Amino acid sequence: MAKAKQGKIIIVANKNRKFGANEEYYAIWVDTNGKEHCLLFTEHELNKAKVRAEKNPEDIPKKGFFADLFD
């Protein structure tokens, strides 16, 4: 399994897949109010979030200067 960095989305296999469930998910580790936890998304959920962001560009926070330097 790939190691995940906080804030980076990686594809993970659905290891205990039920009939009709997705074969893979998109996992991301996030920090919310000082608590770190993992979120799993389907491709549909990510696409829905992308469309929402495209419709509301004014609500997207700017990336910090160092965001890409320490990738």
SS3 27: strand
pLDDT at 33 over 80: yes
User: How many CA atoms are closer than 13 Å to the CA of 7, on its beta-carbon side?
Assistant: 6
pLDDT for residue 49: 95
User: Residue 41 — very low, low, confident or very high, per pLDDT cuts 50/70/90?
Assistant: very high
User: Residue 8 — very low, low, confident or very high, per pLDDT cuts 50/70/90?
Assistant: confident
Instruction: Outline where 1-71 has alpha helix (H).
Output: 43-55
Is 20 in contact with 7 (CB distance < 8 Å)? Answer: no
pLDDT for residue 59: 95
pTM: 0.75
